Structure formats: structure tokens, C-alpha cells
Amino acid sequence: MENILVIYYSNKGSNKYLAGKISKSLSCEIEEIKPRLNIFLLFLMNIHLGIKPLKNRIEDFNMVILCGPIWMGKLIPPLRSFIKKYYNKINKLIFVTCCGSTDAKKDEKFGHGLVFKEVENLLNDKCIICQAFPVGLVLPDNKKEDTDAFMKTHLNDENFKGEIQERFDNFIKKINVMR
Ligand SMILES: Cc1cc2nc3c(=O)[nH]c(=O)nc-3n(C[C@H](O)[C@H](O)[C@H](O)COP(=O)(O)O)c2cc1C
């Protein structure tokens, strides 16, 4: 059985960047979730037609790392479709998000904490870790809670340093201990 597969969906690129970094650091396969209808506005209205079949066999991996954004405090349709479609084939899953909500606001209406609970409920004991990388980690202190600033900020090699890099390194260490 193969070890780890990174699966991601990204609209503006931050989660693609993060997923790529995870796959490089763990030297593992990566695959993008491709919705049948990739229209952002329709997703926001919860209109979606599911996702295209993946090339990788999910059941061949001990662990899937699922990475994607959070919109409107919800688990986004492409990620939800992935979990529902492949539930029986998933052995263990780690959920990762580059999102807007800070750690301090994770349990508020649009916080990542609520989405983590949703993922854990959908996956029962198959979900072993949920990890957030809020975009604010790459912003100066006075901009961390600034919605306008984090909506305009995307992860890249220039800004992925300091606090976010430290959180990332700890995350990779944790996974390497488990594999
Ligand atoms: C329409 C919209 C709604 C969003 N709602 C939330 C939210 O409820 N909670 C949150 O933490 N981030 C929210 N965000 C921020 C995104 O999760 C964040 O910008 C993410 O990094 C985008 O990932 P991507 O670049 O991979 O598409 C929202 C972004 C958009 C565009």
C-alpha cells in the first residue's frame, strides 16, 4: 500500500501552493480535484454537479491529505463531493486549509473550527488531524484581521516564511512521525 496522497482544490492558488509544498516535503503523489462544473458563483449557491473521477486509487493510500479553502464558513462543494464519493475508499484523512479565518476566530460563524467539525462528522474516526494555515500568518500584525488584506493575499515563495513556515514544518514533522 502506498503511503500518502495529497488531494487539493484551489480557486485562487493558495491551497494549490500549500498542497504542492506538502507533497514536495513528504515526497508523495498529488492530484487536483476537478469539479464537473467549475463555476465559483454556482458553488457559493451550493449548486454543483460533483467531481470528475480521480486518477489515483484512493484505497491504495494509507493516508489522504485533503487541502482546500473555506467559503462562507462551509466545507466547499468540491471537497464535500470528494469525501462523499470516496468515503469507503479512504483509510485515514488529514484535512488542511489555507483559509481567511484566524485561530482566534476559528469558532465564529465563518471560522475554520466549524468546518473542521463538519469534516470530522462526515468522516467519523477516519479524520485524524485538521490543520489550518490562515492567510493572516503571512500578513503584518496590523493586517491579520483585515478581511480586505487577506482576500487579496495569496501564498507564494516570497511570503511563505516566519510564522507560517514554522507551523508548516511542525505539521510535516507530525506526519512523518505517523507514517
Ligand atoms: C467568497 C469567499 C468566501 C470566503 N469565506 C471564508 C470563510 O467563511 N472563512 C474563512 O476562513 N475564509 C473564507 N474565505 C477566504 C478563503 O478561504 C481564502 O482566501 C483561501 O486562502 C482561498 O484559497 P485559494 O487561493 O486556494 O482559492 C473566503 C473567500 C472567498 C473568496
Domain ranges of the chain: 2-178
The residues with which 84 forms a beta bridge, in sequence order, are none
Residue by residue, DSSP assigns 53-109 as PPSS-GGGEEEEEEE--EETTEE-HHHHHHHHHHGGG-SEEEEEE--S--STTTTST
Residue 19 C-alpha cell reads as 498542497
Of all protein residues, the one whose alpha carbon is nearest to atom 2 of ligand 1 is 71
Question: CA 61: distance to chain centroid?
Answer: 18
What pLDDT, on a 0 to 100 scale, did the predictor assign at position 25? 98
Average pLDDT of the chain?
A: 96
Residue 58 C-alpha cell reads as 484512493
Of all protein residues, the one whose alpha carbon is nearest to atom 18 of ligand 1 is 99
Q: How confident is the model at residue 179 (pLDDT cuts 50, 70, 90)?
A: confident
Distance between CA atoms of residues 179 and 175, nearest Å:
6
Give the whole-number percent of the chain exceeding pLDDT 90: 89
C-alpha 177 – ligand 1 centre gap (Å): 30
Model confidence, pTM: 0.97
Using one digit for the tens of pLDDT, what is the confidence trace for 38-51?
898 898 888 889 99
What pLDDT, on a 0 to 100 scale, did the predictor assign at position 128? 98
What pLDDT, on a 0 to 100 scale, did the predictor assign at position 47? 87
Using one digit for the tens of pLDDT, what is the confidence trace for 13-24?
999 999 999 999
What pLDDT, on a 0 to 100 scale, did the predictor assign at position 167? 98
What's the sign of the alpha-carbon dihedral 158, 139, 129, 33? negative
Mean pLDDT of 83-100: 98
The residues with which 24 forms a beta bridge, in sequence order, are none
CATH-assigned architecture of domain 2-178:
3-Layer(aba) Sandwich (3.40)
What pLDDT, on a 0 to 100 scale, did the predictor assign at position 173? 98
Pocket of ligand 1 (CB under 6 A): 10-16, 69-73, 98-101, 110, 112, 135, 151, 154
Q: Is the per-residue pLDDT at 1 higher than 80?
A: no
Distance between CA atoms of residues 20 and 119, nearest Å:
22
Interior angle at CA 177, CA 171 and CA 179, nearest 5:
100
